[in-house]
Amino acid sequence: MTLGTSPTPLASGAAPAASGRPSVIQLVFRDKASLYAAYVPLFSDGGLFVPTTRDYKLGDEIYLLLSLPDDPQRYPVAGKVGWITPANASGGRTQGVGVRFPTDEKTRVMKLKIEEILGTSVQSAKPTQTI
C-alpha cells in the first residue's frame, strides 16, 4: 500500500503468512513532519504509527523496514502492535496500528536517532496520528 501526499509516511507491506510469520512493512519518512506525526514517545522503548487497512490484533508481530529523513540506510525493526486505530475512528484519525519497538540495544539506538532528528519537537503539543 502506498499512501498519497498527506503528512503520513509511505507504507507498503504484506499480510502475515499462513505460517504465522510477521508481516513486513516498509515505512519511508521523507521529512521531519511525517516522522513527528508517526512517532510514539509514550511507548517506553519508542514506537511508530503505521497507517494500514489490514486487520491486526494487539501483540501481533510486525517487521518494519524504516527509512528516516535524509538517511539512505534502511533500518529493520521487529515490533509488536501496541494499539489499534480502527476504521472510522473519532476525530478523523487515520486507520492503522501503533507498533512498539522491542527492548534491545539496537532499537534503543533507533529511538535515540529518531528523537535526535525530531529535536525539541518531541515535546510539542502539536497533534499527531498517535495516542
- Judged against a pLDDT cut of 70, whether residue 18 lies above it is answered with no
In a domain, 127, yes or no: no
In a domain, 5, yes or no: no
In a domain, 37, yes or no: yes
Residues 89-130 pLDDT 10s: 888 788 999 999 999 998 888 899 999 999 876 555 554 455
What CATH number is given to the structural domain containing 112? 2.40.10.220
In a domain, 3, yes or no: no
Q: State the pLDDT confidence band at 52, using cuts at 50, 70 and 90.
A: very high
CA distances from 131 to 70, 121, 125 (A): 26, 16, 12
What is residue 129's predicted lDDT score, i.e. its pLDDT? 52
Rounded to two decimals, the pTM is: 0.76
In a domain, 72, yes or no: yes
- Judged against a pLDDT cut of 50, whether residue 8 lies above it is answered with no
In a domain, 89, yes or no: yes
Give me the domain span that covers residue 87. 10-119
- Structurally, the chain folds into a number of domains equal to 1
